[in-house]
Amino acid sequence: MYDKHILTERGCRSVWEHGKKIGYCLNITINYYRGLPLCCVDQISLEVDGQPVDPASMLLQHRGREYPYLDILKDDFPTDFYWTFGDDLRVVVLQQGGIEQGIHHVKLTLGTRRSYTPTMVSVCEKDLTFA
């Protein structure tokens, strides 16, 4: 139901540090109408232009906090990092040189776990313009 909305056009760009491109970022929204703690996310997988993104290279940013993606999959990840419906979750991919400006085909797979129901997996593919 929310599949076509989870991958947004907002904020697609290269990430710079000390005058060098160190990666790129994009924003996603949750695939559940109530929101969830980030510890209930079972999967965030990206492909850009047909190439899978290494999960170890991804950082998640939300409301001034940042976590390596692989940390949210650990059993001891904090439960107070809440991702509400309508809020963007920024996914930063650390990649030397960032991403070329222009249109790139992005595929996102998002799996979330909710009480009393199985994991919901959403897949969204879009051509996004990166600044």
- For the chain, percent of residues with pLDDT exceeding 90: 74
Specify the higher pLDDT residue, 31 or 2.
31
Q: How far apart are CA 105 and CA 128, in angstroms?
A: 6
The pLDDT of residue 61 is: 95
CA trace torsion 21, 22, 24, 30 (10° rounding): -150
Lowest-confidence segment of 76-85, 97-106, 122-131 by average pLDDT: 76-85
Q: Looking at the 3D structure of the chain, how many domains does it have?
A: 1
Residue 115 pLDDT > 80: no
Banded pLDDT at 33 (limits 50, 70, 90): confident
∠ CA 95-70-89, rounded to 5°? 75
Banded pLDDT at 34 (limits 50, 70, 90): confident
Token pair belonging to 65: 């906090």
The pLDDT of residue 117 is: 78
Q: Which domain holds residue 35?
A: 3-130
Cβ within 8 Å of residue 84, ≥6 positions away: 30, 35
Residue 81 pLDDT > 90: no
Q: What is the mean pLDDT of residues 43-54?
A: 97
Give the residue carrying structure tokens 């703690």.
37
Average pLDDT, the chain: 92
Banded pLDDT at 55 (limits 50, 70, 90): very high
